[in-house]
């Protein structure tokens, strides 16, 4: 979803210039116009030069005297004053252009979030428009509000506040375009098996299926490409008490990571309603327990324990053929089984024989709005 920015014209003439043209066309002097309007000649002179504004009263008077609609004069005046204010703000913002460097602007432009431009000031204006703030000074309080979310992230990753903020805001922009029903926990829980069945579909079909099912349950689903130093691949957020949102990134591109993270976030919605602050404070913290609950529920949904352990205890469980057979038996993608074995260190992450069963889910994000 590309961001459009209205850039300042090179020059906007004051409405008095248009008024001068109208007088010349009629052969009317400024003195006569002042007389017809009941105004001082000096005031008309100042309007001509842009020193004095055209008030609503004057605009109505010009309509009666010249036959040019009052709204035309009011719009010309508003456009001119807006231009002057924009020009003044551009001068102020010119000293803030280095702030853009804190964001991964090139990647954001590549996704179409901000304008493709090399001009520093235009970059700043486009970025501010994307973030929805007037100046960089509004960024800290805006970001503080968006830290209230449950993040599935890498502990070792160095997370950039600016990448994270941009990613979250793009998620909001995507969510705002979605038409969803009223949130229904019962509908969402009842759709778990239908969503699980989508794991065997190609990425594009899985994406459309998830968006449709989530919308019917009142859940906004934003699939937003990752950014450098994001360090986050999933987040559960409550935009309001009745508006849950799940946001995923393609930090990890394989189907096993995608599906586990998706269902992990789904269970955050189901189990932790309106819980919007999940800090990882170490073992035993409330947030750690919430993460453990979501992990357990997601794992059990994808591969039930009473199915998994008999499969694992067999000697042939690590073979490619057996993994495929087991996945078909469960009705899930083989890559999910491989991912489970690797997370539990039953097989190596470098096992290319089994890794070939994983599918690249990048298309899910490349087709995202």
pLDDT category of residue 285 using cuts at 50, 70 and 90: very low
Kindly state whether residues 133 and 238 are assigned to the same domain.
no
The 10s digit of each residue's pLDDT in 150-208 is: 565 655 457 788 998 999 999 999 999 999 989 999 999 999 999 999 999 999 999 99
Kindly state whether residues 241 and 361 are assigned to the same domain.
yes
Average pLDDT across the chain, whole number: 88
pLDDT at 148 over 80: no
Cα(344)–Cα(355) distance, rounded to whole angstroms?
15
pLDDT at 284 over 50: no
Let me know if residue 3 belongs to a domain. no
Kindly state whether residues 83 and 100 are assigned to the same domain.
no
Beta bridge partners of 221: 246
Kindly state whether residues 110 and 68 are assigned to the same domain.
no
pLDDT of residue 292: 87
Kindly state whether residues 244 and 124 are assigned to the same domain.
no
pLDDT of residue 124: 96
pLDDT category of residue 53 using cuts at 50, 70 and 90: very high
Mean pLDDT calculated for residue range 10-29: 91
Kindly state whether residues 350 and 207 are assigned to the same domain.
yes
Q: Which of 14-28, 298-312, 315-329, 346-360 has the highest mean pLDDT?
A: 14-28
Kindly state whether residues 60 and 106 are assigned to the same domain.
no
Cα(81)–Cα(87) distance, rounded to whole angstroms?
10
Greatest extent of the chain over all pairs of C-alpha atoms, in Å: 104
Let me know if residue 276 belongs to a domain. yes
Let me know if residue 168 belongs to a domain. yes
Let me know if residue 49 belongs to a domain. yes
Q: 93-107, 112-126, 208-222, 313-327: which has the minimum mean pLDDT?
A: 313-327
How many of the other CB atoms lie within 10 Å of CB of 222? 25
The 10s digit of each residue's pLDDT in 343-365 is: 888 888 888 889 999 999 998 88
Domain termination site, one of 52, 70, 92? 92
Kindly state whether residues 176 and 75 are assigned to the same domain.
no
pLDDT at 240 over 90: no
Name the token pair of 259.
């599906």
Kindly state whether residues 30 and 108 are assigned to the same domain.
no
pLDDT of residue 143: 85
pLDDT category of residue 91 using cuts at 50, 70 and 90: confident
Mean pLDDT calculated for residue range 320-338: 94
Cα(18)–Cα(6) distance, rounded to whole angstroms?
24
pTM: 0.80
Domains contained in the chain, number = 3
Q: For the chain, how big is the Rg over CA atoms in Å?
A: 29
Q: 109-118, 127-136, 236-245, 332-341: which has the minimum mean pLDDT?
A: 236-245
Q: Which of 147, 132, 14, 145 is nearest to 83 (CA)?
A: 14
Cα 114 to Cα 175, 207, 248, 332, distances in angstroms: 18, 24, 20, 38
Name the token pair of 220.
């906004």
Let me know if residue 2 belongs to a domain. no
Instruction: Please report where in the chains the tokens 């100042």 appear, as a residue.
Output: 46
pLDDT at 149 over 90: no
Kindly state whether residues 71 and 133 are assigned to the same domain.
no
Kindly state whether residues 121 and 164 are assigned to the same domain.
no
- Tell me the residue range of the domain where 329 lies: 147-366
Buried b (16+ CB within 10 A) or exposed e, 277-305: ebeeeeeeeebeebbebbbebbbebbbee
Mean pLDDT calculated for residue range 64-93: 92
Q: Which of 221, 216, 262 is nearest to 361 (CA)?
A: 262
Kindly state whether residues 195 and 330 are assigned to the same domain.
yes
Mean pLDDT calculated for residue range 131-136: 95
Q: Which of 85, 63, 81, 78 is nearest to 19 (CA)?
A: 63
């Amino acid at each position: 979803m590309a961001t459009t920015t209205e850039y300042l014209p090179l020059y906007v003439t004051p409405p008095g210039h248009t008024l001068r043209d109208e007088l010349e066309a009629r052969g009317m002097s400024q003195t006569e116009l002042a007389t017809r309007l009941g105004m001082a000649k000096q005031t008309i002179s100042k309007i001509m030069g842009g020193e004095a504004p055209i008030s609503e009263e004057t605009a109505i008077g010009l309509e009666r005297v010249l036959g040019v609609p009052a709204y035309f004069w009011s719009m010309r005046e508003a456009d001119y004053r807006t231009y002057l204010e924009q020009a003044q703000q551009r001068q102020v913002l010119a000293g803030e252009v280095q702030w853009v460097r804190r964001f991964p602007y090139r990647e954001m432009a590549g996704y179409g979030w901000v304008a493709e431009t090399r001009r520093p000031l235009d970059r700043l204006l486009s970025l501010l428009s994307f973030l929805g703030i007037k100046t960089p000074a509004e960024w800290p309080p805006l970001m503080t509000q968006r830290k209230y979310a449950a993040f599935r992230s890498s502990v070792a990753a160095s997370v950039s506040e600016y990448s994270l903020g941009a990613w979250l805001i793009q998620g909001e922009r995507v969510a705002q375009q979605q038409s969803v029903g009223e949130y229904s926990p019962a509908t969402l829980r009842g759709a778990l098996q239908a969503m699980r069945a989508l794991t065997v579909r190609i990425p594009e079909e899985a994406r459309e299926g998830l968006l449709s099912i989530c919308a019917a349950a009142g859940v906004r689903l934003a699939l937003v490409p990752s950014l450098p130093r994001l360090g986050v691949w999933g987040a559960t957020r409550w935009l309001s008490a009745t508006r849950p949102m799940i946001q995923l990134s393609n930090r990890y591109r394989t189907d096993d990571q995608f599906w586990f993270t998706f269902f992990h976030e789904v269970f955050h919605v189901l189990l932790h309603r309106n819980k919007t602050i999940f800090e990882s404070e170490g073992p035993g913290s409330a947030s750690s327990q919430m993460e453990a609950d979501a992990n357990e529920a997601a794992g059990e949904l994808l591969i039930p324990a009473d199915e998994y352990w008999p499969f694992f205890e067999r000697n042939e469980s690590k073979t490619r053929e057996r993994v495929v057979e087991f996945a078909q038996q469960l009705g899930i993608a083989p890559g999910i089984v491989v991912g489970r074995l690797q997370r539990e260190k039953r097989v190596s992450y470098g096992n290319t024989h089994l890794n070939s069963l994983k599918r690249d889910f990048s298309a899910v994000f490349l087709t995202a709005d």
